Amino acid sequence: MDMPVLYEQSGRVVTLTLNRPETRNALSADVVDALVDGLKKANADRSVSCVIIAANGASFCAGGNLHELRGLTVSQKLTHAQLASWYEKGIQRIPATFHELEVVTIAAVHGHAVGAGCDLAAMCDIRIAAPDASFAESFVRVGLISGDGGSWFLPRVIGLARAKEMMLTAQPVGAQKALDWGLANAVADRCELIEVATRMAEQIAALPPNALRGTKQLLRKMESSGFDQGLAEAAQMQATLHLQPDHLEAVAAVLEKRDGNFTGAS
The 10s digit of each residue's pLDDT in 129-175 is 999 999 999 999 988 989 899 999 999 999 999 999 999 999 999 99
Query: What are the residue ranges spanned by the domains of the chain?
Result: 5-205, 209-255
C-alpha–C-alpha distance, residues 266 and 112, integer Å? 42
Percent of all residues in the chain with a pLDDT value above 70, rounded to a whole number: 100
Q: What are phi and psi of 138, to 5 degrees?
A: -95, 15
Q: In the prediction, which pLDDT does 224 show? A: 85
Q: In the predicted model, what is the mean pLDDT of residues 32-46? A: 98
Strand order in the sheet with 13-18: 5-10, 13-18, 50-55, 104-109, 126-129, 186-187
* Prediction pTM value: 0.94
- Identity of the residue numbered 228: D
Half-sphere exposure of 252 (CA within 13 A, CB side): 8
Q: In the prediction, which pLDDT does 265 show? A: 86
Listed in sequence order, the residues at least 6 apart from 198 whose beta carbon sits closer than 8 Å to its beta carbon are 10, 13, 15, 52
Q: In the prediction, which pLDDT does 225 show? A: 84
C-alpha–C-alpha distance, residues 151 and 96, integer Å? 13
CATH number of 5-205: 3.90.226.10
Q: In the prediction, which pLDDT does 208 show? A: 96
Q: With a cut of 70, say whether residue 86 has pLDDT above it.
A: yes
Percent of all residues in the chain with a pLDDT value above 90, rounded to a whole number: 74
**Which tens digit of pLDDT belongs to each residue from 229-263?**
888 989 998 999 988 999 988 888 888 999 999 98
